[in-house]
Copies of this chain bind each other. A is one copy, B any other.
């Protein structure tokens, strides 16, 4: 045999000789039962909890979405303070585009015909002894003290005059009729990782149904048209209460989906929740309002404006969700972790074997060989099976 052939053979032995642990089979029902039961627990956890409940075999992706909203309805206001007025969408929806967030005007303080000029402030009294500048004034103080009314003198300011008096907010919402407005919400989503697209108007819904339906959790759970009153009451609030000072209402669309083919349909789930804090404790500026102005020019070119402090409900359409689909990597990772625990099972069973089983001495004698510290080629400690065998021979 040549040298290289021998070398090659040695390499083959090195690479392909299979080293396997010697094992001892113990016919003990107790130990066997402990072993199988522990194995069963681990497998149950993996199959039952990890796979069925947590769906850990899935890869996940987060939703990307676009929302269009379109409010319909009109109102007529006729209070003692203001002129009779008809309101349509162009009047009360700000901004008009119908984005994922829309504001419905329900109450307001209107200050018409403001011009840039000088006028006395509303609430800050001034006397000759007073400092003429005051914090939180509503304009640039000129330093003069003017008659605000026959009884009060206030600091004069340079501002848009007359000043807004926003304490006179109507107690009942001006556009109380807004509760009967409806909103059509169109939502289209994508899970880019799975190339999955879906709309909240479901494929099996026909156009004629969409023209007359209205969302109801029980009878029409997939109609994309919502009555504002219903949205607010589902959030546990009263529309007329909320309309006075305004607020923010979340329309939450949950697109959490299981995209595996055996999991059936992927449907949006609607829920509604008030997002601002209506309680006056640890709060500032409760409700929701903002100021905007309409600018006009008089015939002689002077700019005037109508300032509107708008109270109302901002509806925020919040789309969220996570989709899962079978993927090999998380499956392998979770199976691997489970297998690791399976490899713990013999440790448990061995511990039971050598400490709790009836014939533990016999078992551990056959299972374990103890080398003595000063062992030479043949001397091993007493209770090794080979050695007891040797003893047997010696005594023979």
Contact = CB atoms under 8 A, between A and B. Distances in A.
A1 interface: no
A3 interface: no
Contact of A328 (B49, B188, B368): B49
Interface string A130-168: 000000001110000000000000000011100000000
A285 B70 contact: yes
A343 B340 contact: yes
Interface in A263-306: 275-277, 280-285, 288, 290-297, 299, 304-305
B248 A68 contact: yes
Interface string A357-396: 0010011011111111101111010000110111011000
Nearest to A32: B16
Contact of A76 (B158, B207, B280): B158
A281 B206 contact: yes
A211 interface: yes
Contact of A368 (B23, B68, B275): B23
A186 B368 CA distance: 69
A159 B27 contact: no
Given A159-B88, A362-B377, A369 B66 contact: no
B24 A192 contact: no
Contacts of A28: 16-18
Interface in A291-335: 291-297, 299, 304-305, 307, 314, 316, 318, 320, 328-329, 332-335
Number of copies: 3
A4 interface: no
A188 B277 CA distance: 9
A318 to B, nearest CB: 6
Contacts of A22: 21-24, 366-369
Nearest to A206: B282
B19 A25 contact: yes
A19 B13 contact: no
Interface string A54-70: 10100000101010101
Given A25-B370, A66-B316, 4 more contacts: A25-B369, A54-B329, A56-B333, A333-B337
Interface of A: 12-13, 15-29, 31-33, 35-36, 45, 49-50, 54, 56, 62, 64, 66, 68, 70, 74, 76, 84-86, 88-91, 94-99, 101, 103, 116, 138-140, 158-160, 184, 186, 188, 192, 199, 201-207, 210-211, 224, 248, 250, 252, 254, 275-277, 280-285, 288, 290-297, 299, 304-305, 307, 314, 316, 318, 320, 328-329, 332-341, 343-344, 346, 349-350, 353, 359, 362-363, 365-373, 375-378, 380, 385-386, 388-390, 392-393
28 contacts: A15-B36, A18-B31, A22-B366, A22-B369, A23-B369, A25-B369, A27-B370, A27-B372, A45-B332, A50-B332, A56-B333, A66-B316, A76-B158, A90-B291, A94-B97, A95-B97, A96-B292, A188-B276, A201-B282, A205-B282, A296-B296, A297-B304, A333-B333, A362-B371, A366-B369, A378-B388, A378-B392, A389-B389
